[in-house]
Amino acid sequence: MPRLYLDLVVNAAGYVPKRAQFAGWARSAIRDCPRSVRLGVRVVEAREAASLNEGFRGRPGPTNVLSFGYEDEDRGAVRFLGDLVLCAPVVAAEARDLARPLDAHWAHLVIHGILHLRGFDHETDQDARLMETRETQLLERLGFADPYR
């Protein structure tokens, strides 16, 4: 299994999973990568998430997770995968609205974001089915229920 180098920055109040949880979820999403991975994870408040969402996606308001990929420069044994930005208040509100355990929703969004960094998307129905199937498999291995049911 490739090694994970996780850079975690938390700039949010309220519940945020522990570093070990983020690392476990991330490892599950990179386990089939051919080399080690460096990943940045930043947990933010709604104001910062809204600014990033509007600045990079042209959409108003905060969103749950944003993925910022790096070009995979040849840097030897470590791939600089990218950064995830997760909005703690949005994640909490969505988990509550979906009646989903909070850690299950955090895990889902971390895995979802990493799969985007790995080239998965949900632009077409076929791509969405492929990505959702992969997410569900990874989450079930971690002991979480299918988030799409």
Is 125 a domain residue? yes
- Supply the pLDDT for residue 69: 92
pTM for this entry:
0.95
Residues of the chain with pLDDT > 90, as a percent, come to 89
Is 53 a domain residue? yes
For the chain, give the DSSP string: ---EEEEEEEE--S----HHHHHHHHHHHHTT-SSEEEEEEEEE-HHHHHHHHHHHH---S--SEEEEE------TTEEEEEEEEEEHHHHHHHHHHHT--HHHHHHHHHHHHHHHHTT---SSHHHHHHHHHHHHHHHHHTTPPPTT-
Is 149 a domain residue? no
Is 119 a domain residue? yes
Give the range of the structural domain holding residue 25, as residue numbers without chain letter: 4-141
> How many domains would you assign to the chain?
1
pLDDT 10s digits, 66-87: 999 987 665 677 889 999 999 9
Confidence label for 118 from pLDDT (cuts 50, 70 and 90):
very high
Is 147 a domain residue? no
How many other CB atoms are found less than 10 A from the CB of residue 76?
8
Is 22 a domain residue? yes
Residue matched to tokens 């076929």: 126
* 104-115 mean pLDDT: 98
Is 146 a domain residue? no
Q: For residue 38, what is the domain's CATH number?
A: 3.40.390.30
Considering only CA atoms, give the Rg of the chain: 15
- Supply the pLDDT for residue 1: 82
